Amino acid sequence: MNDNLHQLRCFGCGARISGAEAQPDFRCVECGDLFEVEYPGWGQRRGNDRPNPGALKWLWRERRCSSESLDQSGVWRFRELLPILDSFGDAVTLREGNTPLYPLFRAAKALGIDQLYAKHQGMNPTGSFKDTGMTAAMSVAKERGFEWVACASTGNTSAAMAAYAARAGLRSLVLIPDGKIAWGKLSQAMDYGAVTCQLKADFDGCLTLLTQIVKEAPIYLLNSVNPYRLEGQKTPAFEIAEAFDWNVPDHLVVPGGNLGNSSALGKGFRELYELGLVARMPRISVIQAAGANPLVQSFANSKGAELAPVEAHTRATAIRIGNPASWRKAARAIQETGGWCLDVTEAEIAIAKAELGSEGLGCEPASAVTLAGLKKLRARGDVGSGESVVLVLTGHTLKDADYTIDFHRGTLLKEEEKAGVEKEIEALRRNALQVDASVGAVLAALKGSAR
C-alpha cells in the first residue's frame, strides 16, 4: 500500500494514522469511530501531489479508449484520486464501473421534472454497486498479503467479495442472516467459492460477530467500515460529474442501509469540489425503508447528531439494517449538501420498482426507494421542476426475482400495506397468464391486456 500518499483520519476525534496502523476492525483505538482515507498532498497549494484538474479530465476521458485492464475499470480509470496501492499492477479488477446513466423519460414526465436519470450500478460485473468498492479494498488485501477476507452481508457485498477474492486467488468467508437474503445473491457467493455461513442473526448481529472474529484470526475485513471500500465507491461520483460535463446534477438520491454508499458518494463529490474539478456539490438525499429507518429517526430526533439502533424489517432485504456503521459520515454528506433523509413504505417501494421496470430498466427493491423518495420530495416541493436529479440504482433486478414475481402475482403485500394504493398497484401488475396453446387463445390474451 502506498502509505506515502495516503493516511487514515478518524472521523470522530480526527486522529491520524498510517494505513499499516489500522486495527483489524478499522475502529479508532482512541474513540471507536471509523476512519476515512485522506491524501495530505492534496491540501498543499503547491504540493507535488495536488492533481491538475484540466489534465485529469483529459486523461480520464482518454483512458476510455485504452485496452489496458486498469484503464477499462471505471474505478481505476480515476486512479489519481485513489492512490492507495503501492503498485496499481496489484489491482484486482473485473472491469467494474463505467455504468450507464439512463434518462428516465416516463418518471420525469409523471413527476414534472425536466431532467431525471438513473445511474445504474446494477450493471456492474456482479450486479451491484459493491464491485466498485470491492476492487479497491480487495486490492489492498492482496497487497497486504492476506489469505482470507470476510464480510457480513445482506447479500450483495458477499457476492462481490466472493468474486473479487476468487479473482485475486484469496479465500473468502461470508456471514449472512439465515433466510433473509435474496437467492440470486446467495447463489453468487456459492458460485464464486466463498465459505458461506448462514447465521441465526440479523445483518447487524453478523457484523458484530465478524468484528470479534477478525480480532482473533488473520482475516481481512471487507465491510464498508473498511475505508478503502469507500475509495472505490466514491468513483461513481466522478462518472456522474464527467457525464454532466463537470457541471454536477442538482440532486443525487441514494438508498440508505449501512450508509457506506451515501458516505462514499459524498466524499467523491467533496473531493472533486475541493480539488477544483467541479464548482459545487449536488444535494445528497438518503432514502430508507420505513421499517429500517434509523437515520431518518436520527434526523427527526437529534438533527443527525445521535443514532439509536432499531430492529429492522423490510422486504427490501439489502437495506434491512438497524444499526448502520457509517451513519455519521452519511449524516455529514446530507448536512453539508442540504439534502434530506426520509423513508418510504413497503407499498411505495413496490410501486416505484414496478414503475422503473416498466421503463425497461428494473432494479432490486432497495434501489427503488430512490424513486419512491423522490416522489415524496417532489410532492413536498423540495425538488423543483427545473432541477436535474440522479437516482442511484444500486442493484440489478435479477438479484431478487422472487420479489418481482410476488408483486406481479399479487402476493407480495398484505391488505393493510396496500390500503389506499390498490388501484395504482393493479395498474402496474403484469402477471404471467395461463393460456391454451392455440392462436385464438393467445390473441384473446392480447386483447384482454390492451392498455
Binding site for ligand F0G (CB under 6 A): 128, 130, 153-157, 224, 255-262, 318-319, 364, 366-367, 394-395
Residues 6+ apart with CB under 8 A from 399: 122, 127, 128, 155, 156, 182, 184, 185, 318, 364
Closer by beta carbon to ligand F0G, 84 or else 295? 295
Closer by beta carbon to ligand F0G, 281 or else 316? 316
- CB 153, min distance to ligand F0G, A: 3
Compute the C-alpha angle 402/236/294, nearest 5°: 60
User: Helices then strands (H, E): number in the chain?
Assistant: 19, 13
Closer by beta carbon to ligand F0G, 293 or else 394? 394
CA 139/CA 449 separation, integer angstroms: 51
Give the phi and the psi of residue 301 in degrees, each rounded to 5. Answer: -90, -30
- CB 448, min distance to ligand F0G, A: 35
> Are residues 410 and 418 in contact, defined by beta-carbon separation less than 8 angstroms?
no
- CB 84, min distance to ligand F0G, A: 19
Closer by beta carbon to ligand F0G, 5 or else 316? 316
> Are residues 343 and 366 in contact, defined by beta-carbon separation less than 8 angstroms?
no
> Are residues 126 and 163 in contact, defined by beta-carbon separation less than 8 angstroms?
yes
- CB 212, min distance to ligand F0G, A: 18
Question: Of 266, 262, 414, 257, which is closest to residue 337 (Cα–Cα)?
Answer: 266
Closer by beta carbon to ligand F0G, 219 or else 366? 366
What letter would DSSP give residue 109? H
- CB 266, min distance to ligand F0G, A: 11
Place of cell 434491512: 320
Closer by beta carbon to ligand F0G, 257 or else 322? 257
Please give the C-alpha separations between residue 259 and each of 76, 98, 293, 325, in angstroms, as whole numbers: 23, 22, 11, 7
Closer by beta carbon to ligand F0G, 281 or else 318? 318
- CB 256, min distance to ligand F0G, A: 5
Alpha helix positions (H), 202-287: 203-216, 227-233, 235-243, 260-274
- CB 154, min distance to ligand F0G, A: 4
